[in-house]
Structure 1
Amino acid sequence: MYIYYLYPETTETELSEIASNLQTSLEANQASHLEIEDLDEGLNFGFEGWGNLKASIYPKDGTTDTLRDAVIDIPHLKQRIKEYDCIKSRVSDSDIDNIEGEYVDRISDVVELIERVYNELAPKPAVTYGLTDAEQKCIHEMEGYGLPVTEDSLAAAELAHLPWLVILPPEIVTTYGRERLLETPVWKTKALDDGSVLLVSHVDILHQLDSSMSERNEHLGMESPISHML
């Protein structure tokens, strides 16, 4: 699972400073046990009581690894949730219609981790979005399945389509309307203290191409990335 925090018009030095300040802020707020590496390699951390659920933050100057990244070529922080396989193992395909209990709690932990990182970032990113491994694979391998944020959509303060998770800053919230966003038919919506809105499309991170994808996108006036297949 990858989460991208986009920082257009930010220099490599400024981006590394943002990552360094994130480390300082997390330490000051005792929000995590930190295992710090050189910023060229990234910042690794995990939160108390969350077992093996850990994350890595990598400052990226905009040079994209096209084989692994699903982001436009602008400066960004890339967060990797390392224990995704551990999360996936908690539910089998046969249980997919009955996801509950510990699995849902675990996905809630993932969302909380992402939200906490966002809250500690200063300045805030232009937009934040998260992709499941399945969704990232679709972007690279499925013709017509584009990025959720493009250069054009970013310039227009909007999304190209709704990804698994997104944190929309106040500028983009204004585009769609706060109440409309909070009424989006998704698994989780939340208004954040800084005026941003968090949306999590679904709890089943094993499958991206679910039946409600079109409904979610149509609610916000966007075209589903699989509309060309229907």
Structure 2
Amino acid sequence: MTVEYLYIEFVYPTGQAQVILDKLREALNEWDAIELGHLVIKPQKFGAVGIEKYNDILEHWPLEESEIAHETTRRSVDFDDFPTIQFTVKDLQYLKGGADHPLDVGSDEPLRELLDILKFCYTTTEERPIAVYSTTPDTPLDLRKPPITAESVANSRFTYLPWLTILPPAMVEEYGRETVLSTPAWHVDELDDGSVLLVCHNDIVDWDKDCRTAAQHIGLPSYRELG
């Protein structure tokens, strides 16, 4: 069996990574929905969601010097100060559900549970991430960059559209709320602070579909176009 991994990163503008991670774990441990779901926030179980920290985004991504810091009259951004929390899901066939799942669950039920976990974690901290994005098994190997740079963050933009993202309010306004909410994607969900969770498709077994239609609608390239 081939084990494939899905990574989803939350990038925060301030704070200490360990403190953020501790708050998320504490909140998840007290969240009753976790006990009722099919996804487990523990290692070594199918459909498990692992959580780890990076003290800053540069601890994970080998960015160019020009991509790390940017300053404008409105905003200064330096990735050296941006703690990152990474969610990891392995054995994606169990995230799909349906006939491939060892439990009697609907075809998209585990995936929707993952989205509930991500939304819960996004909204449970007082200071929310400035970007949320996924890295999927079909991401080109030569695309070793997140969909943000210091310059793009300073301008409330992505550099490409990942399979899953939570666009914070500033990005939603930059691209246009009506445009983002009308994206032809499998899942579009407006959160309580005006952020928008966007998932291009639910084909997470073979990854046959891509995000080009959704990306073009928003005005971004997709990750496959850049790799």
Q: Normalising to structure 2: TM-score of the pair? A: 0.72
Equivalent in the alignment of 1:121 = 125
Deviation string, structure 1 residues 80-135 (Cα, Å, up to 9, x no partner): 1244353368678xxxxxxxx83222222222222222122331111111232222
The answer to whether the aligner puts 1:149 opposite 2:154 as a matched pair is: no
Distance in 2, Cα, partners of 1:82 & 1:227:
25
Q: Distance in 2 between matches of 1:107 and 1:30?
A: 18
**Are 1:23 and 2:16 counterparts?**
no
Match for 1:215 among 210, 213, 216?
213
What's 1:49 paired with? 37
Quote the sequence identity (%).
28
- d(CA) in 2 for partners of 1:82, 1:7: 24
Once the two structures are TM-superposed, the CA of residue 182 in structure 1 deviates from its matched residue by 0.7
Aligned length, in residue pairs:
194
CA distance in 2, matches of 1:84, 1:209: 14
Cα deviation per residue 1:39-90 (whole Å; 9 max; x = unaligned)?
xxxxxxxx433154332221211243469xxxx8642001112443533686
Shift in alpha-carbon separation, 1:225–1:22, aligned structure 2, 3 A? closer
Matched AA of 1:159: F
Structure 1 residues without counterparts, runs of 5 or longer: 33-46, 93-100
Number of the residue aligned with 2:55: 61
Matched, 1:130 2:134: yes
Runs of 4+, deviation exceeding 6 Å: none
Q: Retained in 2: the 8 A contact 1:189–1:198? A: yes
Residues 1-230 of structure 1 mapped to structure 2, 5 A cutoff:
1-8=6-13, 10=14, 14-32=16-34, 47-50=35-38, 52-62=46-56, 63-65=58-60, 74-87=82-95, 102-135=106-139, 138=140, 141-142=141-142, 147-208=146-207, 210=209, 213-227=211-225
Question: Does the CA-based 8 Å contact 1:58-1:79 persist in structure 2?
Answer: yes
Pick closer, same or farther for the CA change 1:145–1:221 going to 2, 3 Å: farther
CA displacement at 1:31 relative to structure 2: 4.5
Alignment CA distance shift 1:65-1:175 (3 Å) = closer
User: Which 5+ residue runs of structure 2 have no aligned equivalent?
Assistant: 1-5, 40-45, 63-67, 69-78
CA-CA distance at 1:191 after TM superposition: 0.6
Residue 214 of structure 1: CA displacement?
2.4
Residue 42 of structure 1: aligned partner = none
Q: 1-side partners of 2:31 and 2:144: how far apart?
A: 40
Change (3 A) 1:153 1:208: farther
State how far apart, in whole Å, the 2-side matches of 1:82 and 1:224 are. 23
Deviation at 1:22, TM superposition (A): 1.9
Q: Secondary structure at the match of 1:134?
A: coil
- The Cα of 1:216 is off from its aligned counterpart by 1.4
CA gap 1:210/1:28 in 2 versus in 1, 3 angstroms:
closer
Amino acid at match of 2:213: E
Determine if contact 1:55/1:82 at 8 Å carries over to the other structure.
yes
